[in-house]
Structure 1
């Protein structure tokens, strides 16, 4: 079940996002707009390791920093000796790894500055476990951006272990840059109507408004096969109608705050991971949430975990409040 609330037209594609960052950077440079509207003390943090995946993440993060008027902060981690260095490595290995890390950071800075010369960029070379370094450097950030696989990944893995570990425990939104992300224009957010969705809806509406994109709000449900076999199959039309009304109600306060955003509520009869993965084919960004905090950090649920493994576009994982 789908219905559209459309106040205006939209642009499409991840390319439009990058182009909008280029346009804004140009107008800011030419003095036609105020670049100080955002919080430059807050950062968009991105992990870099010299891989093509990280290079795409830096491009995504730089465009995001331009659009949100935040600082771009590059992070490279050098695994601590002796536990992470190769066995029987010569004594100078750690120094060599640090020099390579500085070269990686300098190269990423130069490429970002070449395209966006007025973007404020900082960098940090951290001697620590990669996931721990990224969490520490992004603790006060607006969001953390990662490539879906780094130099240490195997070709058969759909998601690097570092990205998954960080997404599971970060206290700020984590964007995992993967897929094409340019074949369609929607921001798609998946929500669980049984839980508080304000944090994820806030992020999704804000991002859609920022990019001039349509927002697709998706809730997926499945008919219990056990109930069907016991003869208690629900009235699908009635259930979908009730769920749709709840979806519209959950989005209501955010539609009032962001009236410029075109909203498409949708109920899908499918497994949540399958529904979100299918939606990602035509999305520029997929937004999912974590479960409530466990000990000191949020944790991924099965739907979010499956979605970030199988999505065909960048995925933003928003921590629960």
Structure 2
């Protein structure tokens, strides 16, 4: 199933539209969830019983509206809803065990995302084992292209596979971007490089990695690029004409946002289109 988190915000509505369309393409059921988070209200002047009823009613209203939107967009998709006690990040992490994909808006009402890179989106994208798609508000015409960032490590393969599948389902082209930068030799500034040779080598890295999976998706048109640029700059530029930008997550830290690599975090901050973070 696909899981989408909602909190009544504009971006949550956009997330529902994205999620139900993906559920339709994948032929999967959609579960819409709302986190009933009592934490911010647990102070003496709020009676617990009245607060509980109010939060539950509001959650049911948000879920009802989201479900109506999903069924309007894709009537054939099986849609269920859940009001779940807990913080948004904890709720989504628990559902990660069952989900094929988790979708949430980039800006919520202090709920499922908060700031563009708020604690919830950072935490979920950094911890979830399934792909996490972060959606921006606002309508964009379809570009017919999926962009995926890759490097020369095996950790990028799940992101590459996810991007190929998204391109196949949408009938879209796939742009594979592998950016590179010249190494800086602080103690040997006179070192020179043959840039044409480096570009050729970088293109070969991309083509060899892509060739291993292209055979499974012969219907997907693939364009490979190896620009000399910082990865975040290259991917954000490519996102201008993309329907979805896919990145891996190579963070190595022990907790929180450190589990999300610096490129993933940078792309989530600046991308012009929805971003899917796929952990290796």
TM normalised by structure 1 equals 0.80
Distance between the aligned counterparts of 1:120 and 1:184, measured in 2?
28
2:244 paired with 1:285: yes
1:274 counterpart (216, 233, 236): 233
Q: 1:102 to 1:178 in 2, by over 3 A?
A: same
CA offsets, 1:101-121, max 9 Å, x none? 011111111121123222101
Contact (CA 8 Å) 1:181, 1:283: kept in 2 or not?
no
Name the structure, 1 or 2, with higher relative contact order (CA <8 Å, separation 6+).
1
Distance between the aligned counterparts of 1:228 and 1:275, measured in 2?
28
- State the 1:68 CA deviation: 0.4
CA offsets, 1:135-185, max 9 Å, x none? 1123221100010010128xx943332112111111110000126553632
Distance between the aligned counterparts of 2:134 and 2:87, measured in 1?
19
Distance between the aligned counterparts of 2:150 and 2:97, measured in 1?
25
2:49 paired with 1:89: no
Contact (CA 8 Å) 1:55, 1:108: kept in 2 or not?
yes
What 5-or-longer segments of structure 2 have no aligned partner?
A: none
- State the 1:246 CA deviation: 1.3
- State the 1:296 CA deviation: 9.8
What secondary structure sits across from 2:225 in the alignment?
strand
Q: 1:182 to 1:114 in 2, by over 3 A?
A: closer
What secondary structure sits across from 1:189 in the alignment?
strand
2:134 paired with 1:176: yes
Contact (CA 8 Å) 1:181, 1:285: kept in 2 or not?
no
Contact (CA 8 Å) 2:16, 2:69: kept in 1 or not?
no
Q: Number of matched residues?
A: 274
Distance between the aligned counterparts of 2:55 and 2:93, measured in 1?
21
Contact (CA 8 Å) 1:181, 1:314: kept in 2 or not?
no
- State the 1:195 CA deviation: 3.9
1:217 counterpart (176, 187, 193): 176
What secondary structure sits across from 2:123 in the alignment?
helix
Counterpart position of 1:315: 275
2:119 counterpart (153, 161, 164): 161
Contact (CA 8 Å) 2:101, 2:132: kept in 1 or not?
yes
CA offsets, 1:194-251, max 9 Å, x none? 3432211110111111110000000111123446961113221111101101110000
The residue correspondences of 1:218-233 to structure 2 (distance < 5 A) are 218-226=177-185, 230-233=189-192
What secondary structure sits across from 1:135 in the alignment?
helix
Distance between the aligned counterparts of 1:144 and 1:79, measured in 2?
19
Distance between the aligned counterparts of 1:268 and 1:181, measured in 2?
26
What secondary structure sits across from 2:172 in the alignment?
coil
Contact (CA 8 Å) 2:105, 2:136: kept in 1 or not?
yes
Distance between the aligned counterparts of 1:228 and 1:183, measured in 2?
49
Contact (CA 8 Å) 1:214, 1:261: kept in 2 or not?
yes
Moved more, 114-123 or 49-58: 114-123
Counterpart position of 1:301: 261
CA offsets, 1:263-294, max 9 Å, x none? 00000111101111111111010000012776
